[in-house]
Amino acid sequence: MTVAFVCGATIMNKIVSPKGFVSNELSKLFGDVPKPDRAEWEKTLKALKPWLSPEKFAETEAIHWRMFERANRWHESKSSSSKD
């Protein structure tokens, strides 16, 4: 098992809880999505860099930040819909 896989799995476990897949309700599926902390995501990338080739790191970094932005958008849409 690679370090990238382990770190990626850890991040995904923070984003989507397996218990959410049991239910069809979106609120249960995404109810425990933590608001992303940019410092934590940067720390994860920094830890991965020595283990990956420059090409693989660039690919991982792009995916990493797409996931971060997606999690941010989810929280923004959730907070704006609760204000309505």
Q: For 10-31, what is each residue's pLDDT tens digit?
A: 555 554 444 444 444 555 555 6
4 vs 20 pLDDT, higher one: 4
Rounded Cα–Cα distance for residues 84 and 68 (Å): 25
Ranges of each domain in the chain: 3-83
CA separation, residue 34 to residues 11, 68, 71 (Å): 10, 11, 8
Q: For 41-72, what is each residue's pLDDT tens digit?
A: 899 999 999 999 999 999 999 999 998 998 88
Show the tokens assigned to 72: 């941010």
**Are the CB atoms for 72 and 41 separated by under 8 Å?**
no
**Are the CB atoms for 67 and 11 separated by under 8 Å?**
yes
pTM of the predicted model as reported, rounded to 2 decimal places = 0.53
